[in-house]
Amino acid sequence: MTNLYWWSNDRINKKQGISLYSLAFTALLLLFSTLSFSQAPDPADIAAGKALFKANCAACHNPTQNGTGPALKGVLARWEAAGDYKGKTGKQMLHEWIRNWNTPVKEGYPHAIEMSNWSPSQMTLFPALKDDEIDKILLYVDNSDVKPAGAATAGAQGAAPAAETGAKAPAMAIYLFLGILVALVVILVSVTSKLNNVLAAKNGEEVKLSTPFWKSRKLLATLIILATIFVFYNLVDGAIHLGRQQGYQPAQPIKFSHQLHAGKHKIECQYCHSTAAQGKHSNIPSVNTCMNCHKNVQKGPEFGTTEIAKIYAAAGWDPDQGKYVNEPKPIEWVRIHNLPEHVYFNHAQHVNAGKIACQNCHGPVEEMKEVYQFAPLSMGWCINCHRNTEVQFANNNYYSIYEKIHEELKSKKLDKVTVETIGGTECQKCHY
């Protein structure tokens, strides 16, 4: 019955598509890195600079794109080109600017005055940064697109899910192979028996013409029973699974990767899905939440600017001007987890009161490039969890009214209090 699901082909194809894409991307990156290696600055310095940059500057600056602050690539060259002033080189002026941008402005350095008008927001002061640290940051800024030698691993990661989805194909092949073997055995047996008969006839022995096996009533009965069992099993199984969408992985309007955001960057689930602990729904973040970071992060590691541009389009943000120019419009995501309308599910109950991790139901989201439905979301699955999961019985004062159960726990009559113990499998906990 599984072939009834409309998405199954789509899912497999898309997975492959991505992995091909990531392979191509990796290849490009490799090519690029070999080209830029000719400049050959010290990789250790660049790495140190990167760390400093991430710690201090990345909130507002991007090496290659304008964000809250201007794009920094070539900044040193620009300041040096602006020339010396009052006995200080452009580089020295830049260092002073970074530590306290007011200093060069007050001194009247023209390039500093020009830069102070770049944006209405004022740059943070970094008085603690030492000269060599600033040099390393500037070195990183100019060489930010140089990848260290280990970059190829990204491609390997991208290819991994393809193998997982391919698992079904070998199974089919094995069944086919077994089928052929069985057919061969049947043919061989029949050929042998025919030959035996011929041999017996030749030897003048009496030929016992046994009824062919396909005319055996016993076999026929067995087969009919087996077929009936098979059909009914599949019917019932299909009916039970009707409407379930485990594994559902629709294409989304933006190729948003949880692997990157939740996995690599370790952004808390509830940073974006902020209402999960408060209410019935765990919200899909509105585009202003995206913009908190993506005002600065203008380029992704995999799709570059194409996907982030979709966020900007929705937010009405013009990255060149650095301001909102259009009315925002919502992004129409495709809903993955669909419960029937007669089911009441409350996120706060599970996340906040029950202290259940998101992954319990949503699976390893932090490993998903594209989210799919991990759990079957069937009633049996819900009930099973309610039977096995312990409630926050001792930790939440709400449960203090269950005096009898507290006593039973104390006297070891009861070893644990599951959701079921306090009525969590009753109809009207979820259906009303």
Partner 1 sequence: MADKIYWKGLEEKNQLISFTESESKEFAENLPVVGSAVDAISTKGNTNRRDFLKMLGFSVTAATIAASCEIPVRKSIPYAWKPEEIVPGVANYYASAYFSAGEFNSILVKTREGRPIKVEANKQSTVTGHGTSARAQASVLSLYDGSRYTNPRKGKENITWDTADKEVKAKLESIKAAGGKVALFTSTVASPSTKAVIKDFIATNPNVEHLVYDAVSYSGLLDANQQSFGVRAVPNYQFAKAKVIVGVGADYLGSWLNHTEYEADWAVNRRVSKANTAMSKTFQIECLPTTTGFKADVRVPVKPADEIAALIAIYNIVTGSSAAGALQNAKVEAAAKALVAAKGESLLVCGSNSVHAQLLTNAVNSALGNYGTTLGFDRPVYLKQGSDTAATALFEGLKNGTYKGVLFYEANPVYNYAKGKELSELISKAELSVSFANRLDETSSVTAYVLPDNHYLESWNDIEVKAGILNTVQPTISKLFDTRQFQDTLLTYSGQTVKYYEYMQKNWETNFYPKQTKYTGFWAFWDTTIHDGEVVLNVAPTATTAGNPNLAEAASVLADSVKGYGENQLKIYESSVIGDGTHSDNPWLLEIPEPVTKVTWENFVMVSPKFVEKNGLQPDLEMKDYHVIKLKAGDVELELPVVAVPGTPENTFGVALGFGRTAVNHDLLKVGKNAYPLLTSGLDIVGNVTWTKAGKTEKLGITQTHHNLTLKGLGGTRTRHIIKETTLEEYKQNPYAGNEDRADILEHLVTLYPTHNFPGHHWSMVIDLNTCTGCNACVVACNAENNIPVVGKDQVVRAREMHWLRIDRYFAGSEEDPTAVFQPMLCQHCDNAPCENVCPVAATNHSSEGLNQMAYNRCIGTRYCANNCPYKVRRFNWYDYAGNDSFDKKWGTGNDAGLAAYQLGMREPLTRMVLNPDVTVRSRGVIEKCSFCVQRLQDAKLTAKKDNRPLLDGEAQTACQTACPTNAITFGDRNNKEAAVAKLFNEERAFGVLEELHTLPNVMYLTQVRNTDKEAKA
Residues that bind partner 1 (CB under 8 A): 4-6, 238-239, 242-243, 245, 250, 275, 278-281, 283-289, 314-315, 327-335, 338, 340-342, 344, 346-349, 352-353, 396-398, 400-402, 404-405, 422-423, 426-429, 431-432
Residue with tokens 């979820």: 430
What number of residues does the chain have? 432
At closest approach, how far in Å is the CB of 28 from partner 1? 33
DSSP state at residue 160: H
Beta carbon nearer to partner 1, 322 or 328: 328
DSSP state at residue 69: S
75, 72, 129, 138: which is closest to 100 by C-alpha?
A: 129
Beta bridge partners of 300: 304
Beta carbon nearer to partner 1, 75 or 371: 371
H or E segment and range at residue 182: helix 168-202
Beta carbon nearer to partner 1, 50 or 347: 347
At closest approach, how far in Å is the CB of 246 from partner 1? 12
H or E segment and range at residue 318: strand 317-318
At closest approach, how far in Å is the CB of 146 from partner 1? 38
Residue 75: CB partners within 8 Å, gap ≥ 6?
A: 94, 138, 141
364, 390, 374: which is closest to 336 by C-alpha?
A: 374
Q: Up-side HSE of residue 53: CA atoms within 13 Å toward CB?
A: 22
392: phi then psi, degrees, rounded to nearest 5: -80, 60
The two three-digit tokens of residue 258, written as one number: 């949880």
DSSP state at residue 303: T
Q: Up-side HSE of residue 55: CA atoms within 13 Å toward CB?
A: 13
Beta carbon nearer to partner 1, 315 or 382: 315
Beta carbon nearer to partner 1, 285 or 363: 285
CA distances from 3 to 30, 109, 250, 310 (A): 40, 71, 16, 33
Residue with tokens 């002073």: 96
Distance CA 161, CA 19 (A): 8
Question: Which residue type does 136 have?
Answer: K
Beta carbon nearer to partner 1, 151 or 422: 422
At closest approach, how far in Å is the CB of 232 from partner 1? 14
At closest approach, how far in Å is the CB of 285 from partner 1? 6
At closest approach, how far in Å is the CB of 97 from partner 1? 35
Beta carbon nearer to partner 1, 100 or 283: 283
Residue with tokens 């008085």: 127
At closest approach, how far in Å is the CB of 351 from partner 1? 10
Q: Up-side HSE of residue 370: CA atoms within 13 Å toward CB?
A: 25
At closest approach, how far in Å is the CB of 11 from partner 1? 13
Beta carbon nearer to partner 1, 109 or 393: 393
Residue with tokens 């599951």: 418
At closest approach, how far in Å is the CB of 130 from partner 1? 42
Beta carbon nearer to partner 1, 275 or 359: 275
